[in-house]
Amino acid sequence: MQAKQYIGESWKHGILIIGAILVLLPFYMMVSMSLKSQQEIQSISGGLIGAQEVQTFPVCVKTGYSEETCTTKPYIYNYWFAFEKAPIPRYLMNGVIVTLSIFIIQVLVALPCAYALAKLRFYGREFVFSMVLFCLLIPVHGIALPLYVMLAQAGLVDTYSALILPWTISVFGIFLMRQFFMTVPDELIDAARMDGMGEYSIVWKVMLPTAIPALLAFAIFSVVAHWNDYFWPRMVITGNRDLFTPPLGIREFRGGIDSDEFGPMMASIVTVTVPLIVAFIIAQKRFIEGITLTGMK
Amino acid sequence: MGTISLKNISKSFGSTEVLKDLSVDIKDGEFLTLVGPSGCGKSTLLRIIAGLEQQTSGDVLIDNKNVNKIRASERDLAMVFQSYALYPHLSVRRNLETPLRLRDYNSFERLPLIGNLSPNKKQKTESINQLVSKTSETLKISELLDRKPGQLSGGQRQRVALGRAMVREPVAFLMDEPLSNLDAALRVHMRSELSELHSSLKTTFVYVTHDQAEALTMSSRMAVMIDGNLLQLDTPQEVYDNPSSLSVAQFVGSPKINIFKGSSDSSGTVNLLNLNLKRKSSETNLELNIGIRPEHLEISNQSDEDTFSAKVSYRENLGSDIFFHVNTEDGMNRIIVRGIPQLTHEISNGSTVNIKRAPNKALLFNQEGKRVQFNNA
């Protein structure tokens, strides 16, 4: 009986383990390649971290560094050279500025909208909400060109505004928060009104704190989408390297004389990915706290 | 002062009329209960008083001042909700402070950090702290002040919700079924506490409930509402003894009043089953509904002209009382009779008993449910 149970359980775990391996394999390759030397990468040898033999890297010498600086272990070289070749901290900072600005403005817009759509009674509310749903169906790429033209006319191409402005109104955010606000009891809002809060105070002092779990879910979607976005920055940032976001920065490692030097390229990708993973782990912990926060009855 | 007058209040949601031309005068310091079955519009009426809902027509006057155009927060009323509606993210202390902060601090003083620069803030904060500690002592929740609502039991949350209403010392308290989320024992206990609180605060209470027992036990006057109409407004005893209509009589009292079909003849003599009532009806030759409360019927040993016989179908033992559900011999009436346990413990399901009625207790209603009086003579 018990053995049978174990077999049934191991079945499930087997499938899950295979799925997990499939998902994690690219990450394994990424980390592994960021640590190994070019020869090891090309000959697919050396396991996870390679032999880490001290050697001189020709691309480095070609770029104009002294032979002494270019002679080191592969993992040091990969990361050092990635940071030498492209201003990665600058890109990361751009990424932080853009994603955080987008998220904050999205919240500033979406919360009052969602509150109005969920809790206020006004003529045409259902129509407005159906428009919000309709906007969910519009693919970003479909309106990219008109958006670009508008930004160009306004003279905003190659600025932070071009990266941020088009994303500040998130219909997905409005929809998600509206669905969450529907579950907040009306009595809580009435109590706040009796206590003397205005509608804006209610949004920020009552609805926002109760909506933290939903807000974190939205934050994960929003931040991941805009941190990883390659399409839009590629369109509106045409020349100014100071405005490059991390995905645009990675592109710097492609092409040119040293086109297939994968070590530093993978090292830069690791540096770009790690902040997101860390942020996600922190958010996940807060996520659970957020759920316990809503001790409503 | 805390008088509230409602003048000809009507309220419709779309085409459905929820309140129909209602007028009530609530006296200062009174415990007035709005009672009625669910959906009768009592909560809507309370929300109109609070200013959370706008009436379709009519006036609300608080202390003789028309407040139709005044916002909920400026009416100086406090409300206790069924779900307590405490701010889940704030500690009990902050929950109690919130209404005071919003009332006492101006918008500059409410700002974080720089708000502390205001010269008056310190003094105001002190008075707020005093009020909060005074209230929490009254309600015995001082030791809960640093907890979050999620960590409290139902009864404790109920107290905190009361506290949040009390700190502001409003002209009147509005309560929307505040006890219905509590378990039965706690509900009975909180009834007496609320009554004590009312007599010590001497403030007007307007209390909404669907539970007629709460209305009977706590209120100084009760307003019975059914289908958006105010049917009767009187002291609980008067409503119980002297209901103005059949629906009020049926709603108030547990177990429900027994209704017999009967009629009055040309001399006004009322006839039901095999009995004639001693008192004469003021209206003659009429089909009547005769109401007799379960405690006005008793199980008797002898059979005489004042008794009728019936068969026990169900015996409901409550310890202090036993209620017998019986069917009359003609099979037309299923009625409930109260029995005293010492005298009736031998009676079991299926046995036939004689039922005697207490004199001068029957209530007459015509076919429309309107009360029909007896002749005084």
Residue B208 lies in a domain: yes
- SS3 for B303? coil
Q: Mark whether B193 and B128 lie in a shared domain.
A: yes
Q: Mark whether B199 and B273 lie in a shared domain.
A: no
Q: Mark whether B119 and B155 lie in a shared domain.
A: yes
Q: Mark whether B203 and B348 lie in a shared domain.
A: no
CB contact under 8 A, A190 and B181: no
Residue range B165-174: mean pLDDT, rounded: 91
Q: What is the pLDDT of residue A256?
A: 56
Q: Residue B273: is its pLDDT beyond 80?
A: no
- Average pLDDT value over all residues in chain A: 86
Residue range A57-65: mean pLDDT, rounded: 80
In chain B, the residue whose alpha carbon lies closest to the alpha carbon of A206 is: B87
Q: How far apart are CA A92 and CA A98, in angstroms?
A: 10
Residues 6+ apart with CB under 8 A from B284: B264, B265, B266, B267, B268
Residue range B314-338: mean pLDDT, rounded: 85
Number of domains present in the structure of chain B: 2
Q: Give whole-number Cα distances, B213 to B187, B191, B204, B278, B372, in Å.
A: 11, 10, 20, 32, 26
The alpha carbon dihedral of B262, B264, B265, B268 has a sign of positive
Residue with tokens 């085409």: B15
Q: Mark whether B94 and B131 lie in a shared domain.
A: yes
Alpha-carbon dihedral angle through residues B295, B301, B302, B307, given to the nearest 10 degrees: 20
Residue B323 lies in a domain: yes
**Chain A touched by B133 (CB under 8 Å):** no
Label residue B207 by pLDDT band (50, 70, 90).
very high
**Chain A touched by B150 (CB under 8 Å):** yes
Element (H, E) at B282: none
Q: How far apart are CA B94 and CA B102, in angstroms?
A: 12
- Which of B246, B269, B292 corresponds to the end of one domain? B246
- Tell me the residue range of the domain where A121 lies: 88-253
In chain B, the residue whose alpha carbon lies closest to the alpha carbon of A195 is: B99
Residue A76 lies in a domain: no
Which chain B residues contact residue A297 at CB under 8 A? 83-84, 154, 157, 181
Q: What is the pLDDT of residue A294?
A: 46
User: What tens digit of pLDDT does each residue of B45-76 get?
Assistant: 999 999 998 999 999 999 999 999 988 888 88
Residue B214 lies in a domain: yes
List the single residue in A191, A209, A295 with the smallest CB-CB distance to B85: A191
List the single residue in B77, B82, B89 with the smallest CB-CB distance to A210: B89
Contact in structure between B257 and B296 (CB atoms under 8 Å): no
Q: Mark whether B182 and B287 lie in a shared domain.
A: no
Residue B251 lies in a domain: no
Q: How far apart are CA B298 and CA B307, in angstroms?
A: 9
User: What tens digit of pLDDT does each residue of A248-275 get?
Assistant: 888 877 755 555 678 888 888 898 888 8
User: What tens digit of pLDDT does each residue of B223-236 get?
Assistant: 999 988 999 999 99
Residue A270 lies in a domain: no
Q: What is the pLDDT of residue B317?
A: 86
Q: What is the pLDDT of residue A164?
A: 93
- Which of B246, B273, B302 corresponds to the end of one domain? B246
- Which of B246, B275, B309 corresponds to the end of one domain? B246
Residue B215: which CATH number? 3.40.50.300
Q: Mark whether B275 and B188 lie in a shared domain.
A: no
Q: How far apart are CA B162 and CA B159, in angstroms?
A: 5
Q: What is the pLDDT of residue A287?
A: 62
CB contact under 8 A, A194 and B47: no
Q: Mark whether B174 and B269 lie in a shared domain.
A: no
Q: Residue A283: is its pLDDT beyond 80?
A: no
Q: What is the pLDDT of residue B248?
A: 92
Angle among Cα A229, A234, A238 to the nearest 5 degrees reads 150
Q: Mark whether B131 and B150 lie in a shared domain.
A: yes
In chain A, the residue whose alpha carbon lies closest to the alpha carbon of B99 is: A195
- Tell me the residue range of the domain where B187 lies: 4-246
Helix extents (H) in chain B:
42-50, 92-104, 121-138, 154-166, 184-201, 212-218, 236-241, 246-251, 341-344
Residue A268 lies in a domain: no
Q: How far apart are CA B136 and CA B339, in angstroms?
A: 45
Residue A107: which CATH number? 1.10.3720.10
Shortest alpha-carbon distance between residue A286 and chain B (Å): 14
Residue B216 lies in a domain: yes
Residue B264: which CATH number? 2.40.50.140
In chain A, the residue whose alpha carbon lies closest to the alpha carbon of B82 is: A187
Residue A44 lies in a domain: no
Q: How far apart are CA A276 and CA A270, in angstroms?
A: 10
Residue B377 lies in a domain: no
Q: Say how many residues make up chain B.
A: 377
Residue range B10-18: mean pLDDT, rounded: 90
Number of domains present in the structure of chain A: 1
Shortest alpha-carbon distance between residue A293 and chain B (Å): 6
Q: How far apart are CA B338 and CA B255, in angstroms?
A: 9
Q: Mark whether B19 and B103 lie in a shared domain.
A: yes
Q: How far apart are CA B301 and CA B172, in angstroms?
A: 53
Q: How far apart are CA B308 and CA B311, in angstroms?
A: 10
- Average pLDDT value over all residues in chain B: 88
Q: Residue A295: is its pLDDT beyond 50?
A: no
**Chain A touched by B243 (CB under 8 Å):** no
Residues 6+ apart with CB under 8 A from A263: A33, A34, A35, A36, A37, A38, A41, A74, A77, A78, A81
Q: Residue A221: is its pLDDT beyond 90?
A: no
Q: Are strands B352-357 and B275-280 parallel, antiparallel or unpaired?
A: unpaired
